[in-house]
Structure 1
Amino acid sequence: MLSRLTSSLPRVASALPGSFRSASTLQEVLAAQVPAKQAELLALKKEHGDKVIGQVTVDQLIGGARGIKSMLWETSNLDANEGIRFRGYTIPECQQILPTYSGVAGDGEPTLEAIFWLLLTGEVPTKAQCDSLTAELHKRAEGLPAHVVPLLKSLPKDMHPMTKFSIGLTAAQTNSVFAKKYAEGTPKSTYHEHVLEDILNVVAILPELAAVIYRDTYFDGVVSKDTSLDYSGNFARMLGYNDPAFDELMRLYLVIHTDHEGGNASAHATHLTGSTLSDPYLAYASGLQALAGPLHGLANQEVLGWIQDLQKKFAAEGKEVNKDTITEYYNASGRIGNLRYAYPNVDSHSGVLLWHYGMTQYSYYTVLFGVSRAVGALSQLYWDRALGLPLERPKSHTSAWLKDFCEKQ
Structure 2
Amino acid sequence: MSQVLKNKLKEKIEGWRPRTARLTKEFGNVKIDEVTIGQVIGGARDIKCLVTDISYLDPFEGIRFRGLTIPEVLEKLPKVPGGEMPYVEGFFFFLLTGDIPSMKDVEEVAEEFKKRQDVPQYVFDMLKALPKDSHPMAMLSAAIVSMQRESIFFKEYEEGKLHKNDYWDPTYEDSLNLLAKLPRIASFIYRWKYKNGDIIPSDPKLDWGGNFAHMMGIPKPYDDVSRMYFILHSDHESGNVSAHTGHLIASALSDIYYSISGMVNGLAGPLHGLANQEVLKWIQEIYEKKGGNVPTEEEMKQFVWDTLKSGQVIPGFGHAVLRKTDPRYTAQREFCLKHLPDDPLFKYVDLLYKVVPPILLEQGKAKNPWPNVDAQSGVIQWYYGLREYDFYTVLFAVGRALGVCANIIWDRGLGYPIERPKSVTTDMLEEAAGIKK
TM-score, normalized by length of structure 2? 0.83
Residues 408 and 281 (structure 1 numbering): CA distance in 2 closer, same or farther, change over 3 Å? same
| Alpha-carbon distance between aligned partners in 2 of 1:136 and 1:121, rounded to the nearest angstrom | 16
What residue number does 2:351 align with? Answer: 332
- For residues 42-64 of structure 1, the C-alpha deviation after alignment (integer angstroms, 9 at most, x for no partner) is 12223322211111110110010
Aligned amino acid, residue 47 of structure 1:
E
| Alpha-carbon distance between aligned partners in 2 of 1:347 and 1:330, rounded to the nearest angstrom | 11
- Is the 8 Å Cα contact of residues 178 and 195 (structure 1) preserved in structure 2? yes
Q: Is the aligned partner of 1:288 residue 2:264? A: yes
Which residues of 2 match residues 287-366 of structure 1 at below 5 A? 287-315=263-291, 324-336=343-355, 342-366=369-393
- For residues 306-348 of structure 1, the C-alpha deviation after alignment (integer angstroms, 9 at most, x for no partner) is 211221222288969x992101111122233566674532222
Aligned amino acid, residue 408 of structure 2:
L
Higher relative CO (CA 8 A, sep ≥ 6), structure 1 or 2?
Answer: 2
- Is the 8 Å Cα contact of residues 294 and 347 (structure 2) preserved in structure 1? no
* 1:38 CA displacement: 0.4
- Is the 8 Å Cα contact of residues 84 and 91 (structure 1) preserved in structure 2? yes
3-state SS of 1:147 partner: helix
What residue number does 1:16 align with? Answer: none
Residue among 189, 205, 209 paired with 1:228: 205
How well do the aligned residues superpose, as a CA RMSD in angstroms? 2.1
Q: Is the aligned partner of 1:128 residue 2:70? A: no
Residue among 12, 15, 37 paired with 1:33: 12
Q: Is the aligned partner of 1:376 residue 2:403? A: yes
What residue number does 2:234 align with? Answer: 258
Residues 389 and 315 (structure 1 numbering): CA distance in 2 closer, same or farther, change over 3 Å? same
- Is the 8 Å Cα contact of residues 87 and 227 (structure 2) preserved in structure 1? yes
Which residues of 2 match residues 4-403 of structure 1 at below 5 A? 25-102=4-81, 108-142=84-118, 144-185=119-160, 186-221=162-197, 222-241=199-218, 243-315=219-291, 324-336=343-355, 342-403=369-430
Residues 126 and 335 (structure 1 numbering): CA distance in 2 closer, same or farther, change over 3 Å? farther
- Is the 8 Å Cα contact of residues 224 and 240 (structure 1) preserved in structure 2? no
* 1:130 CA displacement: 0.9
| Alpha-carbon distance between aligned partners in 2 of 1:198 and 1:239, rounded to the nearest angstrom | 25
What residue number does 1:18 align with? Answer: none
3-state SS of 2:63 partner: strand
* 1:223 CA displacement: 2.6
- Is the 8 Å Cα contact of residues 294 and 344 (structure 2) preserved in structure 1? no
- For residues 81-103 of structure 1, the C-alpha deviation after alignment (integer angstroms, 9 at most, x for no partner) is 12111111111111110111128
- Is the 8 Å Cα contact of residues 294 and 348 (structure 2) preserved in structure 1? no
Aligned amino acid, residue 373 of structure 2:
V
3-state SS of 2:221 partner: helix
- Is the 8 Å Cα contact of residues 118 and 125 (structure 1) preserved in structure 2? yes
Residues 402 and 36 (structure 1 numbering): CA distance in 2 closer, same or farther, change over 3 Å? same
| Alpha-carbon distance between aligned partners in 1 of 2:194 and 2:435, rounded to the nearest angstrom | 60
| Alpha-carbon distance between aligned partners in 1 of 2:59 and 2:373, rounded to the nearest angstrom | 14
Residues 403 and 295 (structure 1 numbering): CA distance in 2 closer, same or farther, change over 3 Å? same
| Alpha-carbon distance between aligned partners in 2 of 1:45 and 1:393, rounded to the nearest angstrom | 16
| Alpha-carbon distance between aligned partners in 1 of 2:293 and 2:129, rounded to the nearest angstrom | 46
3-state SS of 2:291 partner: helix
Gaps of 5+ in 2: 297-339, 362-367
- For residues 205-253 of structure 1, the C-alpha deviation after alignment (integer angstroms, 9 at most, x for no partner) is 1111111110010013213211211100001111112x22111111111
Percent identical across equivalent pairs? Answer: 42
What residue number does 1:6 align with? Answer: none
| Alpha-carbon distance between aligned partners in 1 of 2:101 and 2:379, rounded to the nearest angstrom | 30
Aligned amino acid, residue 406 of structure 1:
A
Aligned amino acid, residue 332 of structure 1:
L
Q: Figure out how many residues of one structure are paired with residues of the other and give that number.
A: 381
| Alpha-carbon distance between aligned partners in 1 of 2:78 and 2:294, rounded to the nearest angstrom | 47
- Is the 8 Å Cα contact of residues 259 and 376 (structure 1) preserved in structure 2? yes
- Is the 8 Å Cα contact of residues 177 and 198 (structure 1) preserved in structure 2? yes
